Amino acid sequence: KNQVEQSPQSLIILEGKNCTLQCNYTVSPFSNLRWYKQDTGRGPVSLTIMTFSENTKSNGRYTATLDADTKQSSLHITASQLSDSASYICVVSEANAGNMLTFGGGTRLMVKP
Amino acid sequence: EAGVAQSPRYKIIEKRQSVAFWCNPISGHATLYWYQQILGQGPKLLIQFQNNGVVDDSQLPKDRFSAERLKGVDSTLKIQPAKLEDSAVYLCASSPSWGVSPLYEQYFGPGTRLTVT
Predicted confidence at residue A74, as pLDDT, reads 98
Residues pairing with A93 in the sheet: A32, A101
Does residue A67 contact residue A55 with C-beta atoms inside 8 Å?
yes
> Is B42's CB within 8 Å of A41's CB?
no
Per the omega criterion (within 30 degrees of 0), is the bond before A29 cis? yes
Q: Which residues of B fall below an 8 Å CB-CB distance to A?
A: 4, 31, 40-45, 55-56, 91, 93, 95, 98-99, 102-106, 108-111, 113
3-state secondary structure chain B: CCCCEEECCEEEECCCCCEEEEEECCCCCCEEEEEEECCCCCCEEEEEEECCEEEECCCCCCCCEEEECCCCCCEEEEECCCCHHHCEEEEEEEECCCCCCCCCCCEECCCEEEEEC
Tell me how far apart the alpha carbons of residues A80 and B106 are, in angstroms, rounded to a whole number. Answer: 26
Neighbours of A51 (CB within 10 A): 15
Of A32, A98, A103, the CB nearest to B42: A103
Tell me how far apart the alpha carbons of residues B4 and B81 are, in angstroms, rounded to a whole number. Answer: 27
pLDDT by residue (tens digit) across A47-85?
999 998 899 999 999 999 999 999 999 999 999 999 999
Predicted confidence at residue B98, as pLDDT, reads 60
Comparing B72 with A12, the larger pLDDT belongs to A12
Predicted confidence at residue B21, as pLDDT, reads 97
A49, exposed or middle or buried, with CB in 10 Å at 0-12, 13-18, 19+?
buried
Predicted confidence at residue A33, as pLDDT, reads 93
Distance from CA of B117 to the nearest CA of A (A): 20
Distance from CA of A35 to the nearest CA of B (A): 12
- Per-residue DSSP letter, A110: E
Of B99, B105, B109, the CB nearest to A98: B99
List of chain B residues with pLDDT < 70: 1, 98-103
Helix (H, G, I), strand (E, B) or coil at A80: coil
pLDDT by residue (tens digit) across B70-93?
888 999 999 999 999 999 999 999
Tell me how far apart the alpha carbons of residues B51 and B47 are, in angstroms, rounded to a whole number. Answer: 13
